[in-house]
Chains A and B, each alone.
Chain A
Amino acid sequence: MSSRIGRLRRAAILAVVGLGLGAGLSSAEEPPVQKQYIPLLTYRVGAYASSGIPIWAGIIDYFTYLNEAEGGINGVKLFWDECETEWGVEKGVECYERVKGGKDGSPVPILWPHSDPIGKALTEKAAADKIPLVTLNYGRTEAVDGRVFPYSFPVVLSFYSEASTAINFIAQKVGGKDKLKGLKIATVYHDSPYGKETQPALDLLAKTYGFENIQIPVAHPGNDQSAQWGRIRQLKPDWVFLRGWGVMTPVAVKTAAKTGFPVDHIIGGIWSSSEEDVRPAGAVGKGYLAITTYPAGADFPIHDKIRRFVIDTGKSNLQDKKSFGSVYYNSGIVDAIILTEAIRTAQGKFGHRAINGEEARWGLEHLDITDQRIDEIGATGLQPTLELSLSDHEGGGIARVIQWDGAKWSTVSDWIQADRDLLRPLILERAAAYAREKGITPRSDADSTN
């Protein structure tokens, strides 16, 4: 009997120890995920492939540099895969559905739609799935109000700020904002929601500064603009603000030249500011100006690091090495810096592990890329400082102006600040209208700590 009791006791002890070990083993089997998945929605084929290919190269090269030189972000290595959208909404949404669940145990921290229409189509889905959409220099302008759009981040330069920096650059050239009065400024725009996005901002700026605001649409794709530039010749504006996309920009530059409009009085918008936009225009593109937040050039310190750890070791994603340091390649680097710094910020609160969308949103809303941090990264002059908050998902609102010399871009202005205070009421009004339409209760500042 006693031996039976003894056996039972030993069995009970073994069971308890076993359970304990089991529990211990169980927790040991699920360590924090130490690699971070970043899905890339790409357009390597189709009408806009020439723009996309260098962007992904910049992004992937920066990720590779971080993994190779710094061991990832605080020891969490990055891994990624691509889903081809051809810049189309249907494929973009399909890709989003495919990647939103994460991969190999890592959630999706942030998603780049890399297309204005895809970004707009995903706004509500991403908010429901708690995945932040980061749209560098594009996206819904009203999403600057993060109280209404918690998961949309049109970072650095919204379309309103783009228009404002262009006007402020003209003001610099003519000797001050008071000299804008009486000027004729024509906006030649891609006739699409993207192209029309700056119209309310330009209306307000025209009323404020007293310039004449002329709007001239160009139908997609814009491969014949003789009528539009004939009208420009008739109206004789002092400056043209060119908000193009794709083939529209080089055709505009060529048509301007053949109608006698001075090319150095055309200021391209942020999506008319790459080598691909102006190179096809040939010699007549010389003098063309454009707004950018990521100037061209391969002599920034970050390029030296990428050259050493990625290009020279044969690990670059860049097929055409001539694009190293191009505007689009550099935009990829800036995109990657913002994303990885947001993850780094989130890791500071949630731990050095893979970050999910909700945590990344916190990281984005507490992102503060200071001059010192930009210097550490090696991106001084390449990227402006960026401080985001719950109520400000744009951050910068500043840009530089570059000029095409026939072979390459040169930076011809310092960082120019948009009139954000003037434009903000317009943005809040649009955000409030969206909130009313969708029945959204805007977040309060107290939510920023959560």
Chain B
Amino acid sequence: MDFFLETLVGGLLAGVMYALVAIGFVLIYKASGVFNFAQGSMVLCAALTFVTLRDKGLDFWSAGLVTLVVMVALGVAIERVVLRPLVNQPQITLFMATLGLSFVIEGVAQILMGASVHELDLGVVDVPVEVGPIQISQFDLVAAGVAGALVIGLSIFFSATRIGVSLRAIADDPQAALSIGIRLQTLWRIVWGVAGFVALVAGLLWGARQGVQFSLTFVVLKALPVLLIGGFTSIAGAIVGGLIVGAADSLAEIYIGPLLGGSVSTWFAYVLAVVFLLIRPAGLFGERAIERV
């Protein structure tokens, strides 16, 4: 029972890490209806920029600040150069544009900053903490705390600020929002900038966990089932989806994997996502599209 509990808790904490990446997707989708496939590349770019600046001698906070500026600038530039010219194009066109963008960001980031593997030390000692009969990773607890703070901050931003309310209006009905004078493009730039910030947070935590290297882009593969389960438009849904995926993945790896003679974590989360889709096509917290026919 202790082992089951430990696996469950470990999985839940791992799920928070996936949720961090998923939140970046949700932000963009919520505001513009674009599924930003380049979010994983933005995570890599953020972490790579940060460690490159640290290697150049900048202290932790200066490097973080400059990286934040770079990521916000990147987000704004993407909106201006790639997405704005594609306004009113079909969703699949916008999706393909972000798909292409992900390759461009990965390639340019590696050309400018190299392909070496970097260590990223956030100063969090990753030793296990004994909680009763189970061990919990100290680093994962910190990551969960950061994710929680991020969710609270973004929730306040979306519900209690003028910009946030405007963004919700755009998400609900872009035409109506435009008709009352909300400046769509300005708000898109803000959202892409915030997505850049989220990418930085995710990049730092994932980079500290596994080293800063190209494979950071692979974390997107686990963020997709998180989105399918939690819904594309809910930040809380991303967290809940992350927790479900993380826990189910870990338990399946331990209890189902040996029965099948191999690792199941590459596909099990997707099976789960398909099951959720069959029951709730918009995800647990997603907004169901209701159209007049």
- Are the CB atoms of A258 and B209 closer together than 8 Å? no
Is A441 on the interface with B (CB-CB < 8 A)? no
Are B218's CB and A221's CB within 8 A? Answer: yes
**Contact assessment for A254 and B209 in the assembled complex, using a CB-CB cutoff below 8 Å:** yes
Known: A223-B218, A226-B11, A226-B137. A50 touches B116 (CB 8 A): yes
The answer to the question of B127 belonging to the interface, with a C-beta cut-off of 8 Å to chain A, is yes
A284 to B14, CA, bound (A): 20
**Of A157-165, A227-235, A426-434, the one with at least 4 CB within 8 A of chain B:** A227-235
- The verdict on A282 contacting B137 (CB below 8 Å), with A223-B218, A226-B14 known, is no
Taking a contact as CB atoms under 8 Å apart, the answer to whether B212 and A224 are in contact is: no
Q: Are B126 and A280 in contact (CB under 8 A)?
A: no
Is B283 engaged at the interface, CB distance under 8 Å to the other chain? Answer: no
Given A227-B265, A230-B3, A233-B135, are A254 and B210 also a contact pair (CB < 8 Å)? yes
CB of A227 within 8 A of CB of B250, answer yes
CB proximity of B9 to chain A, nearest CB, Å: 9
B264 at the interface (CB under 8 A from A): yes
In the complex, the answer to whether B214 meets A279 with C-beta atoms within 8 Å is no
Known: A227-B250, A320-B116. A282 touches B215 (CB 8 A): no
Q: Which residues of B contact A53 (CB under 8 A)?
A: 115-116
CB closest chain-A residue, reference B120: A280
Task: Confirm or deny: A49 has a beta carbon within 8 angstroms of a beta carbon on chain B.
Answer: yes
Give the residues from 288 to 334 in chain A that come closer than 8 angstroms, CB to CB, to chain B: 319-320
Also in contact, A276 and B117, with CB within 8 A (given A230-B254, A251-B209, A254-B126):
yes
Is B100 an interface position by the 8 A CB rule? no
Residue B257 CB within 8 A of the other chain: yes
Are B262 and A50 touching (Cβ within 8 A)?
Answer: no
Q: Is B189 an interface residue (CB 8 A)?
A: no
- Is A220 interfacial (CB-CB < 8 Å)? yes
Q: Judge whether A257 is part of the interface by a CB distance below 8 angstroms.
A: yes
Contact with A along B128-163 (1 / 0, CB 8 A): 100000010111100000000000000000000000
Q: Which of B128, B214, B215, B254 contacts A231 (CB 8 A)?
A: B254
Number of A residues contacting the other chain (C-beta, 8 Å)? 40
In the complex, what residue of chain B is closest to A234 when comparing beta carbons?
Answer: B3
Nearest CB of A to B17, in Å: 7
Among A219, A233, A284, which residue has the most Cβ atoms of chain B within 10 A?
A: A219
Closest Cβ–Cβ distance, residue A385 to chain B (whole Å): 32
A258 with B211, Cβ < 8 A, contacts A50-B115, A219-B264, A282-B121 known: no
Instruction: Tell me which residues across on chain B come within 8 A of A191, comparing CB atoms.
Output: 262-263, 266
Measured CB to CB, the residues of B under 8 A from A are 3, 6-7, 10-11, 13-14, 17, 107, 110, 114-121, 126-128, 135, 137-140, 206, 209-215, 218-219, 222, 249-251, 253-254, 257, 262-266
Q: Identify 29 residue pairs between A and B in the complex whose beta-carbon atoms are under 8 Å apart, listed by A's number.
A: A44-B115, A47-B215, A49-B214, A53-B115, A53-B116, A191-B262, A221-B215, A221-B218, A223-B219, A224-B17, A226-B7, A226-B13, A226-B14, A230-B254, A247-B213, A250-B211, A254-B126, A254-B209, A257-B127, A258-B127, A258-B139, A276-B117, A276-B213, A280-B119, A281-B119, A281-B211, A282-B119, A284-B126, A320-B114
Apart from A221-B215, A223-B215, A226-B140, 9 more pairs, CB < 8 Å: A223-B210, A224-B249, A224-B265, A226-B10, A227-B254, A254-B209, A254-B210, A258-B138, A284-B126
Q: What are the 4 A-B residue pairs with the smallest beta carbon separation, nearest first?
A: A280-B211, A49-B115, A219-B263, A227-B253
